[in-house]
Amino acid sequence: MSKKTTDSWILATRLCEAYIKRPGKANFLLEKLPCSLPPSHRRRCQFLFLGVIRNLSRISSAISVLVKKEPRPRLKSILYVGAVELLTSEDEKAALIINNAVEQAKLALSQSEARLVNAVLRKALPLLKNPHGIAEPAELSVRLALLYSHPEWLVRKWLLAFGPVVVEELLRWNQEPPPIYIYQPPKNATEPIDGLKLTKWPGFYQIVPEESGNIGELVEKHRAIVMDPASARPVELLDVRGDEKVLDLCAAPGGKSSFLAGLLEKQGGLLVALDKPGPRVQRLRENLSRFLKARSHIVEADLLQTTPEALVAKDLPGQYDAVLLDAPCSNTGVFRRRPDARWRLQPADIAAAASRQVELLKKASAFVSPKGRLVYSTCSLEEEENKLVVDKFLRLDKGFWRLKAEISCNPWDDDHDGGSAFLLVPAGNRRQN
């Protein structure tokens, strides 16, 4: 194999080993890759590492059949990266892939472990291509969960909610590496972005692989935003005017805040972006820094512990014309983009998230001016985190708020990330929360 592929391969095994030792957020591990790594190497490393996570149960099932004793993390990482290459490549490349894995194993492992890598990967291909073997499980949820590497409990839940045809389409969609989009708001566009693929969504361009190394440069030059088309929908529903006071809650890492800042900067509107203190706020600052003409302020605070009076004490408005609450959620609508999230999610997490979302929505409503509006959104596909949260909020504040409009984004229909957004407006006399 070429040096480029080998270097990417080694880095991918190191990331995989770290993930095996301590499963967590994949993007945190990817951020540790050397800044000097050429873009082509980075793309290949990311493809292999996320490919392992994306196909984790399918790969682990095949390897466990062939390796009776639990391998140590370094050996397992080499087996897994080799397996994902076999799974995502043409069959005629299998010998080359296996030979490379064995050569890397000789450098990183004992001779006996290198021989094990050779033996296991040579037998793994049929199991990877057909994970059920001769007999398929009778239960559809079990079959789909293994074939598409998703938690079986979640597949079972989705089958009840969406039906088998939609679920298989969603699972297949989640398994594809996601496109990278950048957004240039039409109101702020000074020039088209040459060399990129213009999409069916106004203002959105798709990054082609050979251009991905220049994303930072493209973003800075064109004052664009790296974001999926689904992320624009809640902001569009909020329908901000350029002279308004806008509050973005749970704002980090700042994609939607940047979108809002671009809308406000030409007419002197005000943007306040609030989120908990932490590393994500730095990303928020970096994203907003491109909009120097926008009147924007970042507030580091927990929404559940914040009141309008606390903002007034910072010489900021206590109430706003438009409030956006993009609430923390289960992320089930963005599993293609965040494949590791599917493995962290537990059945009880959805109900816990929904309970917290109701509290966040109640707090957010206190910042809306009497004639203002509030958009609640998530990147979840679960009704419990979307419509049922809004319904509960309306029951708790019966007569004070009404649902004016809503949007649902389904990957199987829209071909972008999933989620929902709800536009709420005051109705009649409204008590202060």
- Which of these ranges, 42-51, 116-125, 127-136, 143-152, has the smallest mean pLDDT? 127-136
pLDDT of residue 133: 65
The confidence band for 1, taking pLDDT boundaries of 50, 70 and 90, is very low
What is residue 224's predicted lDDT score, i.e. its pLDDT?
A: 77
Task: Identify the band that residue 222 occupies on the pLDDT scale cut at 50, 70 and 90.
Answer: low
> What does the alpha-carbon distance between residue 168 and residue 150 come to, in Å, rounded to a whole number?
11
| pLDDT value at 427 more than 70 | yes
Angstrom CA distances, 140 to 126, 130, 137, 146, 147, stand at: 21, 15, 7, 10, 10
d(CA 433, CA 136): 55
| pTM (2 d.p.) | 0.91
For the record, the structure tokens of 67 come out as 């390796």
Indicate if the pLDDT at residue 197 is higher than 90: no
Rounded percentage of the chain residues whose pLDDT exceeds 70: 91
Residue with tokens 């079986």: 152
* Collapsed DSSP state (helix, strand, coil) of residue 30: helix
pLDDT of residue 202: 86
Per-residue pLDDT of 289-315, as tens digits, reads 877 677 899 999 999 999 999 999 999
- In this prediction, residue 184 has a pLDDT band, given cuts at 50, 70 and 90, of confident
What pLDDT is recorded for position 131? 76
* pLDDT value for 288: 85
3-class SS at 118?
helix
pLDDT digits (tens, 9 = 90+) for 394-408: 999 877 999 999 999
The answer for residues whose C-beta is within 8 angstroms of residue 231's C-beta and 6 or more apart is: 255, 256, 259, 379, 417
CB 242 within 8 A of CB 263: yes
Structure tokens at 372: 């203002």
The rounded mean pLDDT for the chain is 90
Over the stretch 339-365, which tens digit does the pLDDT of each residue have? 999 999 999 999 999 999 999 999 999
Q: Of the given ranges (194-203, 232-241, 273-282), which has the lowest mean pLDDT? A: 194-203
The least confident of 62-76, 111-125, 251-265, 279-293 is 279-293
Mean pLDDT of all residues in 163-168: 97
C-alpha 375/C-alpha 352 separation (Å) is: 21
Residue 316 pLDDT exceeds 90: yes
pLDDT on residue 429:
54
Question: Which residue bears the tokens 């800044």?
Answer: 35
Q: What is the pLDDT of residue 432?
A: 47
